[in-house]
Amino acid sequence: MTLLALVLALSLAGLGARGAAGLWDEPAILRRACPDYVSYASTPHPPYSGGSLNLPFQRPALECRTFNSSVVEQVIEDVTSRMVDKDLAQLFRNAFPNTLDTTIRWHVDGSTGEARKSKNQNAQWEGPQSFIVTGDINAEWLRDSTNQLANYQILAKRDQRLSSLILGAINTQAEFVIQSPYCNAFQPPPPSNIPPTNNGQDDQVHPAYEPSVVFECKYELDSLANFLALATDFYENTGSTDFLTSRWYTALDTLLQVLDAQSQPTFDDEGQYVTNQYTFQRTTTLGTETLNLAGVGNPLNSGTGLIRSAFRPSDDSTIMGFFIPANAMMSVQLQRTAAMLRSAGGRSDLADNLESRGRRLRQAIQDHAIVNHPKYGDVYAFEVDGYGSRILMDDANVPSLLALPILGFVDQDDTVYQNTRKMVLSKDGNPYYLTGSAFHGIGGPHIGLENAWPMSLLVQAMTSDSDDEITRCINLVRNSSLLGLIHESIDVNNIRAYTRPWFAWANSVFAQTILKIAAERPHLIFGEGADPYNP
Ligand SMILES: *[C@@H]1O[C@H](CO)[C@@H](O)[C@H](O)[C@H]1NC(C)=O
Ligand SMILES: *[C@@H]1O[C@H](CO)[C@@H](O)[C@H](O)[C@H]1NC(C)=O
């Protein structure tokens, strides 16, 4: 039994963190002194905005913040001092730093301590490392953490510590991908000495995983695309290739093996059934939390060139495994990774391989995922099975069909995208477009049919060409964020009923939206005639 497995067993046996020999004295002291952010975020705190909604100030006290950056503070000051709407400004003030303030559970810059100083960053856990939790759950999701940090990528060049934080996050994700490439959420790294938690389920998963490393093992294609995105984004913003260690290359190789395995159809060339390498079963009454057909999922045809995803970015199971938004994101990221390797002088055969994989995947989407809708014309399907069946809908989580231009897959004015956008933003085109007396937007099966997600309104704003539409989306999010932070979902008939007080990803998406408006349509938030703002 590893030390961490022992620690897990001890915590499960009801022994608190302090019972086990002071292994993590410092975090324990910090936790005692600072309030739990779930409860802190659930009640309003002064100073209030002074706007018509009088939104509260929800940043933790200075000494309780999990990371500081003066460059980030400067952006907050620059933006909020110019914003006309005091409530929107308060939301930005709380949301932009939320990931740094509350979710950096562990970071080492690689110069001291556990990740020892070493010229050779080729061993496990060497170099900078960062463990970034999703918010109210003490685990790191690959997708969430990439998106949580996306906000700060543009600032990394000007702030060495921020740069080290993101580099650390890439290194840590690489370790996770090497260890368990099929999994979506991970435990604190062993060198952090933070005890793992148990997700309370009894999942039967193949390939098997180590519960002291993995928090949950739902195979989501977009988790792997987000691993690539974290690095390509970092490279595009900083020009740094410090993450190109042999560990990162090993992670990339592991990822490609998963893509190959998950490109296999359900029946081989002779028509024989072949079990997929990945299966997942959970004892549950929720259909979206387990997979059909003994954990394999519904049959998928051969010859599409698409890659299966067992679960969606909502962590709900797919109905048809060829989940298009994640395939689109993966095709973009394979090509960006190829371009990055070429300009960084990496292996050219590897770059060629990634480039052709990305191009083939893009073609597979054009060939198998564009379908004709009687009202909206040619649209992208949400999921297909290669037999001609398709699911037409969208889910609020990103990657989504609505987000395709933000992911870099299509131009915003692409005709098929525009048709798709009209479809997924309408009640008759998308079963998960949810409306009520108080709120509306795209939701999804994850929370249910009466809850729409602010994140979908933010993506709608970021993919719109209309000042009026952007303003309506932003104001509706503002109106439904009465605790000064962006929630996961809102009851469409009661703006005060929400899920998740502390959901860092949604706050990052809000900040990204405001920064995009500040750069491209400054008059919408800074007033008529205002100059654009770029951090
Ligand atoms: C952030 O700054 C405050 C005030 O200077 C300090 O108390 C706190 O320890 C710092 N936090 C981190 C994680 O550096
Ligand atoms: C937001 O709430 C205000 C009242 O506080 C209301 O006038 C406005 O129409 C609402 N905006 C949206 C988009 O719901």
Counting residues of the chain whose pLDDT is more than 70, the rounded percentage is 92
* Residue 14 scores a pLDDT above 50: no
Alpha-carbon distance 458 to 506, whole Å?
9
* Residue 23 scores a pLDDT above 60: no
Name every residue whose Cβ is closer than 8 Å to that of residue 418 and which is 6 or more positions away in sequence.
Answer: none
Q: How far is the CA of 84 from the centre of ligand 2 (A)?
A: 16
Segment 407-436, tens digit of pLDDT: 999 999 999 999 999 999 999 999 999 999
* Residue 16 scores a pLDDT above 50: no
Q: Where in the sequence of the chain do the CATH 1.50.10.10 domains occur?
A: 284-429
Q: Is 282 in the pocket of ligand 2 (CB under 6 A)?
A: no
Alpha-carbon distance 309 to 225, whole Å?
11
What pLDDT is stored for residue 122 in this prediction? 67
Name every residue whose Cβ is closer than 8 Å to that of residue 512 and which is 6 or more positions away in sequence.
Answer: 150, 151, 458, 462
The closest of 217, 219, 180 to 201, measured between CA atoms, is 217
Supply the angle between the helices 70-80 and 504-520 in degrees, to the nearest 10. Answer: 60
What pLDDT is stored for residue 121 in this prediction? 54
| Low-confidence winner among 7-21, 126-140, 192-206, 321-335 (lowest mean pLDDT) | 7-21
Query: How deeply is 32 buried, as exposed, middle or buried, from its count of CB atoms within 10 A (0-12, 13-18, 19+)?
Result: exposed
Q: Is 54 in the pocket of ligand 2 (CB under 6 A)?
A: no
The closest of 105, 110, 168 to 140, measured between CA atoms, is 105
Q: Is 62 in the pocket of ligand 1 (CB under 6 A)?
A: yes
What pLDDT is stored for residue 138 in this prediction? 95
The pick from 475, 480, 482, 490 for probing ligand 2's pocket by mutation, whose C-beta has the most ligand atoms within 8 angstroms, reads 475
Q: Is 172 in the pocket of ligand 1 (CB under 6 A)?
A: no
Question: Which residue has the CA at smallest separation from atom 8 of ligand 1?
Answer: 63
The pick from 63, 67, 107 for probing ligand 1's pocket by mutation, whose C-beta has the most ligand atoms within 8 angstroms, reads 63
CB 383 within 8 A of CB 431: no
Q: Is 68 in the pocket of ligand 1 (CB under 6 A)?
A: yes
Q: How far is CA 152 from CA 48, 65, 290, 510, 511, in A?
A: 26, 16, 35, 13, 10
Q: Is 516 in the pocket of ligand 2 (CB under 6 A)?
A: no
Segment 476-505, tens digit of pLDDT: 999 999 999 999 999 999 999 999 999 999
Atom of ligand 2 nearest to the CA of 473: 13
* Residue 473 scores a pLDDT above 60: yes
Fold of 284-429: Glycosyltransferase (1.50.10)
Q: Span 386-400, mean pLDDT?
A: 98
Atom of ligand 2 nearest to the CA of 471: 13
Which numbered ligand comes closest to the C-alpha of 51? 2
What pLDDT is stored for residue 32 in this prediction? 56
Q: Span 60-83, mean pLDDT?
A: 98
What pLDDT is stored for residue 33 in this prediction? 82
Question: Which residue has the CA at smallest separation from atom 14 of ligand 1?
Answer: 67
Q: Supply φ then ψ for residue 279, to 5 degrees.
A: -135, 155
* Residue 6 scores a pLDDT above 50: no
The pick from 479, 480, 482, 495 for probing ligand 2's pocket by mutation, whose C-beta has the most ligand atoms within 8 angstroms, reads 479
Q: Span 311-327, mean pLDDT?
A: 98
Q: For the chain, report the end-to-end CA distance as a whole number of angstroms.
A: 49
What pLDDT is stored for residue 112 in this prediction? 65
Average pLDDT value over all residues in the chain: 93
Q: How far is the CA of 20 from the centre of ligand 2 (A)?
A: 52
More confidently predicted of 115 and 255 = 255
Q: Do you find a cis peptide bond into 399, omega within 30 degrees of 0? A: yes
What pLDDT is stored for residue 120 in this prediction? 52
What pLDDT is stored for residue 148 in this prediction? 98
What pLDDT is stored for residue 346 in this prediction? 87
Alpha-carbon distance 389 to 202, whole Å?
32
What pLDDT is stored for residue 72 in this prediction? 98
The closest of 531, 399, 530 to 463, measured between CA atoms, is 399
Q: Is 528 in the pocket of ligand 1 (CB under 6 A)?
A: no
Q: Do you find a cis peptide bond into 265, omega within 30 degrees of 0? A: no
Atom of ligand 1 nearest to the CA of 104: 13
Q: Span 108-134, mean pLDDT?
A: 77
Q: Span 12-18, mean pLDDT?
A: 31
Segment 88-110, tens digit of pLDDT: 999 999 999 999 999 999 999 99
Question: Which residue has the CA at smallest separation from atom 3 of ligand 2?
Answer: 479
Segment 171-180, tens digit of pLDDT: 999 999 999 9
pLDDT band at 4 (very low <50, low <70, confident <90, very high): very low
What pLDDT is stored for residue 5 in this prediction? 34
Within its chain, how far is the Cα of 157 from the centroid?
22
Atom of ligand 1 nearest to the CA of 65: 11
What pLDDT is stored for residue 113 in this prediction? 52
What pLDDT is stored for residue 123 in this prediction? 85
Q: How far is the CA of 424 from the centre of ligand 2 (A)?
A: 23
More confidently predicted of 5 and 360 = 360
Q: Is 67 in the pocket of ligand 1 (CB under 6 A)?
A: yes
